[in-house]
Homo-oligomer: A and B are copies of this chain.
Amino acid sequence: MKKPLINTVVIIGVGLIGGSFALALKKAAAVERVIGIDLDSENLNIALKLGIIDEAASSFADGLSQANVVFIAVPVCSILNLVKETVNYIPSGCIITDAGSVKSELVNACESLMPPGTHFVGGHPIAGTEHSGAAAAFATLYQNRRCILTPTAATDHDTLNLVTALWQATGSSVEYMESVAHDRVFAAVSHLPHMVAFALVHAVNRSAEEEENIMAFSAGGFRDFTRIASSDPVMWRDIAMMNREALLDMLDRYNLEFNNLRDRIANSDADWLEDFFKTSKRLRDGISQR
């Protein structure tokens, strides 16, 4: 039998992300024991009943004393405070890693909190569904998905290797990225599109107050296009707060393009419009499927 990568993983926040990480590691026989910590005791009971965790910790002290790896999977603004609490209880050699969608501020702050002989490495699995909670977790969530780790110059080599091996055990391919670059990339390809979709739903809803047929005809393409506006509000509040600088930069870049397009429409600039739409099509069709 294959030797597990570690003995004990502690999951803080046993929802879709944390629960699926636990299930995937168990399925791969990569861990001996999973301990869960969650503010929501009902959710923790569900996780226990579903076999996502082996033990529900009654306190941080109780849960963390034998942790080899702690995986923090809570909304990104809560991660730093949890790390502050967690470091009081972890044994020497313990690694803390997370699943936050914003990295640069967090990674620097967490690194500086770690007691000697313990380690932090930031992570961001590119996976999820529109559901949340332990009951939504499943063992194959990370299969064939990417997970980004954001090591720094100070990151311990063995730590990075172990966290990489854990994510690989879940079926993910692991990529390393500098945390500031990470935040700029996701401001562009994820955070900006979400903000656009949130605003779009509001704008169309306001118009629907004046024109009753609008809602009746929103069932087709509009419903599909705005699917991402249905994502978890607390998660997105935290992302907008934590990635403010990179996101504002992207919002402003987008605003320039959008308002230029608006003015060209106002001026009936047919040639420019055709060219702009052609370029959009070419650029979008050039994105490879993966």
Contacts and interface: CB of A to CB of B under 8 A. Distances in A.
B201 A189 contact: no
A204 interface: yes
Interface in A156-203: 177, 181, 184-186, 188-190, 192-193, 195-203
Interface in A193-222: 193, 195-208, 211, 213-215, 217-222
A214 B199 contact: no
B250 A280 contact: no
A288 interface: yes
A290 interface: yes
Interface stretch (A37-45, A104-112, A271-279): A271-279
A43 B124 CA distance: 50
B287 A236 contact: no
Contacts of A248: 262, 265-266
Interface string A244-281: 10011011111111110110011010100110111111
A90 B198 CA distance: 50
Contact of A222 (B189, B236, B247): B189
A233 B279 CA distance: 9
B289 A223 contact: yes
Contacts of A207: 184, 188, 250, 253
Majority-rule SS of A interface residues: helix
Contacts of A258: 195-196, 199, 203, 251, 255, 258
Contacts of A273: 236-237, 240-241
B190 A221 contact: yes
Contacts of A257: 199-200, 202-203, 206
Interface stretch (A8-16, A22-30, A113-121, A224-232): A224-232
B284 A195 contact: no
A36 to B, nearest CB: 26
A233 B278 contact: yes
A208 B226 CA distance: 24
Contacts of A189: 204, 214, 217-218, 220-222
A185 B184 CA distance: 36
A227 to B, nearest CB: 8
A245 to B, nearest CB: 10
A160 B202 CA distance: 36
Closest 10 CB pairs of A and B: A233-B277, A219-B290, A203-B254, A199-B258, A237-B274, A189-B222, A198-B280, A233-B278, A199-B257, A229-B284
Interface of A: 126, 177, 181, 184-186, 188-190, 192-193, 195-208, 211, 213-215, 217-223, 225-234, 236-237, 240-241, 244, 247-248, 250-259, 261-262, 265-266, 268, 270, 273-274, 276-281, 283-285, 287-290
